[in-house]
Chain A
Amino acid sequence: MTWHEILIETFKRNDVRLATYVPDRVLTPLIHGVSDDPFFTAFPATREEEAVGIACGAWMGGMRGVVLMQTSGFATLANVLASLAVPYQIPLLMVISERGTLGEFNVGQVMVCRTMRPALDAMGIEHHTITRLDELEFVADRSIKQAVATQAPAALILSPLLTGGKVFKE
């Protein structure tokens, strides 16, 4: 199975039904996968923090969700994570396609990427960077289960080593 097929199966097994996103080139097959599968309620939001608000509301209403985004989208989230997801103890699941490293061609993305893990650490949010296909199912499944059991947000960072990333076209 591909990385996106594994993620979709893991979401399903954990009853993660709502998938909202701000698009990203690397995430395209995952976005297509959730959009084409009637198991999911999948739709774009206009901003990542809006998507986080929707996912937090859905959780409180009894529906598990995931927010799909790119590194630069995560960089817009400090306020909503620190004032909603973390203090209200909501197991918000984030899947972040990592840009800004391993062959990045846009310096803006590089700088943004350097803020991501320090921000997650500052808020005490569990995060894992997934580089290997054979570890993806284990990390994703355990992270979802831990988030729910401990009522805490979790971030899965998809490394270019896993997805191929976005490469510079000469």
Chain B
Amino acid sequence: MALSRFEVTSLLVSKLTRDEAVVGGIGNTNFDLWAVGHRPQNFYMLGSMGLAVPIALGVALAQPQRGVIALEGDGSMLMQVGALATVAALRPKNLTIVIMDNAIYQITGSQPTATATGADLVAMARGAGIRESHWADTLERFGELFDRAQAQGGPTLIGVRIDGEPAKATTERDPARIRHRFMRGLGVIA
């Protein structure tokens, strides 16, 4: 049973109590993160498809005391799958990766991705060396896995199979403002 991206994102955001940073990948992943409600610690990509995990990794290395979450779609993750090996090599304890997998390039017209024909991003992550890589088949299971990742430390990857519902809103599109607010949210600038 496919889950709702908006509901998964809402649950995730409701669990953030320590100003964790969240990097949203381009497309509907980003849009639903915005739709759930803007937080100063959210970063929204306007391009650079595939780079939610690398950007989140950079934040995680710079601020090892802060929890950092990368939200990425299946098409984007397939584009930059090598980043999973880099995460595995560096083993940042504070990084959690959430893959929203609806097996389509939704924003470009819902063409199928390779996960539609069997590519398994959780297995690929495990193969890259991220041992704590799991599918969450229910909202409850997602919550458990996410809580465990925050309590035990990562890196952790959680895959969620979602439906093809469009996002409930779209982000603002002022990159300088997005970056500035994010850096303020992370306490880097005043």
Contact = CB atoms under 8 A, between A and B. Distances in A.
A98 interface: no
30 contacts: A18-B58, A18-B61, A18-B62, A41-B61, A43-B86, A45-B54, A45-B83, A49-B54, A49-B80, A50-B51, A50-B54, A52-B51, A52-B54, A53-B48, A53-B83, A56-B55, A58-B58, A58-B59, A58-B62, A60-B186, A61-B63, A65-B58, A79-B47, A79-B49, A82-B47, A83-B46, A83-B47, A84-B51, A87-B47, A87-B175
Interface stretch (B136-144, B160-168, B177-185): B177-185
A50 B58 contact: no
A59 interface: yes
A57 B55 contact: yes
Interface in B142-190: 175-176, 178-179, 182-183, 186-188
Contact of A46 (B66, B85, B187): B85
A52 B58 CA distance: 9
B6 interface: no
Interface residues of A, number: 32
Contacts of A50: 51, 54, 80, 82-83, 86
Interface residues of B, number: 38
Interface string B91-102: 000000000000
Interface in B33-57: 43, 45-51, 53-57
Contacts of A46: 82-83, 85-86
Contact of B86 (A45, A56, A82): A45
How would you classify the secondary structure of chain B's contact residues: helix, strand, loop or mixed? helix
B182 A60 contact: yes
Contacts of B57: 53-54, 57
B179 to A, nearest CB: 4
A80 interface: yes
B23 interface: yes
Interface string A28-70: 0000000000000101111101111111111111110100000
A113 B52 CA distance: 29
A80 B58 CA distance: 15
B186 A62 contact: yes
Given A43-B89, A62-B188, A88 B179 contact: yes
Nearest to B178: A88
A89 interface: yes
Nearest to A57: B58
A61 B64 CA distance: 10
A56 B58 contact: yes
